[in-house]
Amino acid sequence: MVAQQQGKFTVGDYLAERLAQVGVRHHFVVPGDYNLILLDKLQAHPELKEVGCANELNCSLAAEGYARANGISACVVTYSVGALSAFNGTGSAYAENLPLVLISGSPNTNDPSQYHILHHTLGHPDYTYQYEMAKKITCCAVAIPRAIDAPRLIDRALRAAILARKPCYIEIPTNLAGATCVRPGPISAITDPVTSDKNALEAAAKCAAEYLDGKLKPVILVGPKAGRAGSEKELIEFAEAMGCAVALQPAAKGMFPEDHKQFVGIFWGQVSSDAADAMVHWADAMICVGAVFNDYSTVGWTAVPNIPLMTVDMDHVTFPGAHFSRVRMCEFLSHLATQVTFNDSTMIEYKRLKPDPPHVHTAEREEPLSRKEISRQVQEMLTDKTSLFVDTGDSWFNGIQLKLPPGAKFEIEMQWGHIGWSIPAAFGYALRHPDRHTIVLVGDGSFQVTAQEVSQMVRFKVPITIMLINNRGYTIEVEIHDGSYNKIKNWDYAMLVEAFNSTDGHAKGLLANTAGELADAIKVAESHKEGPTLIECTIDQDDCSKELITWGHYVAAANARPPRNMSVQE
């Protein structure tokens, strides 16, 4: 703030100060003439570090990943040509419940009233369209009309994003970023959490305790919103008070410790791990904590639990026959932990059902590389310091099957499912967590979407290990519905990432065709700290997990349901 205190304080300074106060330390940017003054202001803030991205899609996805690590992030782009690309990562943040602040420069405030046609726009003088579009993919969108409105609108958007765990949108005209502005008031006005309504909390916990008392076989099902609500600690507290089985949805992997004695695996219908499905289907009560039932998590609607559900969401609790608003998940779980009766019947049953650990075959060094051997070697890489990103494709299934050691983190983007997400998202995440070893499992098709962002890993010397599984195409799509469109042009991936080095970079690109080559490459990656290492793992085109095949069949069937309510003429 020193530099800013000496000169005039501007709208850009206000935004910078607020971003720093809510905990942003890196902001992701692509410059354009509508946002340059704003970028100068953000750059001038001593607590913000500017991180340039190769394009706005990657910029928004890097911010999405940063929000996973940091709780909140900022992505700054130019009008339309930039923002419309950044809408994609903003959509991801919405779907994945992450507070991402999308900030866009916009036309000079004098232009709309003069009916001026401007560059980077649709070519007609109504410049409200981007703001209108942003409203649909954020929990709060504001367009600043005058400098005097900036504090109120910026504060409103930030508070909404923090409370809802959703993205917000702030549009700042190019001639307002440098306009004089008042200084911000106390940050607690924005960051103070909303607590539960005391009466609703009491009533919900009482209702839950009574409901559970009447049940013989309760199971807890954890979904991705449990982690987003920051309730991991309270979840353990509650689970231990209950003593019952805890299954996780695939997108919640890592949100409850896998070495905990009550962990019974990933519930994913037919492709569940560790007999989690047997437990879920045996239960007579299901406490769904932050669960999301979509077509993917229910395996094409074949695995929707068929008993009434008790739903604990981020800010409300619903039972068969009762609903309680303004009950925060964390508070509810820790309060309920003091009210419930211990019932470990599902754990007694699980001990009888728990499958023995599978025998894992170790390939000979010269054996051609297989999917199973990659998984075996990746499993050995995992430590308490690992953060594992798995991209859409067979990497989801391979990642879900791995056993996470205590402390290891797992990131998946299962609601939005944007191929290529993992490369920029892991980059954003790793900037915030330099102490962790970020590993990415990504397919060849996914990598081709966002490959440029590896060059930022080179530029910022981020030592991410990218395991690129090259099966020469879109295999998940092959399993859902095959066609020539699922073939892609092969690249020399190892050589490509070294091209990003130019004269000053330190990326390593390695190729593994055999089990031994992969083991050697992993050793190199683990000791390489000056930049990213990409290991291209080549496998046969048909070598995919049986879980992917099974899941693909059911999802294909769900996609192919004929239209209902057709008129008789049709």
Rounded distance between C-alpha atoms, residue 539 and residue 542, angstroms: 8
Per the CB < 8 A criterion, the answer to whether 413 and 442 are in contact is: no
For residue 508, state whether it binds ligand DPX (rule: CB under 6 A): no
Tokens of 402: 């791995």
Centroid of chain to Cα 136: 19
Per the CB < 8 A criterion, the answer to whether 316 and 203 are in contact is: no
Q: Residue 155 touches which of ligand DPX, Mg ion, none (CB < 5 to 8 A by kind)? A: none
For ligand DPX, which residue of 23, 405, 417, 516 counts as binding (CB under 6 A)? 417
How many chain residues touch Mg ion (CB under 5 A)? 5
Q: Residue 477 touches which of ligand DPX, Mg ion, none (CB < 5 to 8 A by kind)? A: ligand DPX
For residue 243, state whether it binds Mg ion (rule: CB under 5 A): no
Residue nearer to ligand DPX on the CB measure, 243 or 473: 473
Rounded distance between C-alpha atoms, residue 381 and residue 367, angstroms: 20
Residue nearer to ligand DPX on the CB measure, 13 or 413: 413
Residue nearer to ligand DPX on the CB measure, 39 or 469: 469
Tokens of 161: 């994003």
Per the CB < 8 A criterion, the answer to whether 290 and 310 are in contact is: no
For residue 116, give the 3-state DSSP assignment: coil
Q: Which residues have C-beta within 8 Å of that of residue 93, sequence separation ≥ 6?
A: 60, 63, 64, 67, 99, 100, 166, 167
Of 179, 171, 175, 173, the closest CA to residue 147 belongs to 179
For Mg ion, which residue of 32, 443, 505, 552 counts as binding (CB under 5 A)? 443
* Residue closest to Mg ion when measured from CB atoms: 443
Rounded distance between C-alpha atoms, residue 411 and residue 300, angstroms: 22
Q: What is the DSSP letter of 250?
A: G
For residue 246, give the 3-state DSSP assignment: strand
Rounded distance between C-alpha atoms, residue 110 and residue 444, angstroms: 47
Residue nearer to Mg ion on the CB measure, 224 or 445: 445
Rounded to the nearest whole angstrom, what is the least distance from the CB of residue 89 to ligand DPX in the complex?
11
Residue 511 pairs in a beta bridge with 536
Annotated binding-site positions: 444, 471, 473
φ, ψ dihedrals at 511, nearest 5°: -115, 130
For residue 398, state whether it binds ligand DPX (rule: CB under 6 A): no
Q: Which stretch binds Mg ion (CB under 5 A): 39-47, 336-344, 464-472, 544-552?
A: 464-472
CB-neighbour burial class of residue 542 (10 A; exposed 0-12, middle 13-18, buried 19+): exposed
Bridge-based pairing state of the strands 100-106 and 168-173: parallel
Q: Which stretch binds ligand DPX (CB under 6 A): 19-27, 30-38, 297-305, 412-420?
A: 412-420
Q: Which stretch binds ligand DPX (CB under 6 A): 317-325, 351-359, 450-458, 467-475?
A: 467-475
Rounded to the nearest whole angstrom, what is the least distance from the CB of residue 426 to ligand DPX in the complex?
15
For ligand DPX, which residue of 269, 399, 445, 505 counts as binding (CB under 6 A)? 445
* Count of Cβ atoms closer than 10 Å to residue 412 Cβ: 24
Residue 472 pairs in a beta bridge with none
Q: Residue 251 touches which of ligand DPX, Mg ion, none (CB < 5 to 8 A by kind)? A: none
For ligand DPX, which residue of 474, 500, 551, 554 counts as binding (CB under 6 A)? 474
C-alpha dihedral sign at 396, 402, 403, 406: negative
For residues 468 to 497, the per-residue mask of contacts with Mg ion, x marking binding by CB under 5 A and - elsewhere, is ---x---x----------------------
Rounded to the nearest whole angstrom, what is the least distance from the CB of residue 476 to ligand DPX in the complex?
3
For residue 419, state whether it binds ligand DPX (rule: CB under 6 A): yes
For residue 444, state whether it binds ligand DPX (rule: CB under 6 A): yes
Rounded distance between C-alpha atoms, residue 26 and residue 57, angstroms: 17
Residue nearer to ligand DPX on the CB measure, 80 or 392: 392
Q: Which stretch binds Mg ion (CB under 5 A): 183-191, 218-226, 444-452, 510-518?
A: 444-452
Rounded to the nearest whole angstrom, what is the least distance from the CB of residue 460 to ligand DPX in the complex?
24
For residue 393, state whether it binds ligand DPX (rule: CB under 6 A): yes
Of 122, 128, 137, the closest CA to residue 88 belongs to 137
For residue 65, state whether it binds ligand DPX (rule: CB under 6 A): no
For ligand DPX, which residue of 418, 432, 437, 508 counts as binding (CB under 6 A)? 418
Rounded to the nearest whole angstrom, what is the least distance from the CB of residue 397 to ligand DPX in the complex?
8
Q: Which stretch binds Mg ion (CB under 5 A): 5-13, 70-78, 408-416, 467-475?
A: 467-475
Residue that has been written with the tokens 């039972």 in this structure: 319
Residue nearer to Mg ion on the CB measure, 444 or 453: 444
For ligand DPX, which residue of 471, 533, 538, 545 counts as binding (CB under 6 A)? 471
Rounded distance between C-alpha atoms, residue 217 and residue 247, angstroms: 13
For Mg ion, which residue of 444, 479, 498, 547 counts as binding (CB under 5 A)? 444
Annotated binding-site positions for Mg(2+): 444, 471, 473
Residue that has been written with the tokens 């395996």 in this structure: 299
The angle subtended at Cα 398 by Cα 405 and Cα 243, nearest 5°, is: 45
What residues make contact with ligand DPX under the rule CB under 6 A? Answer: 392-394, 417-419, 443-446, 471, 473-477
What residues make contact with Mg ion under the rule CB under 5 A? Answer: 443-445, 471, 475
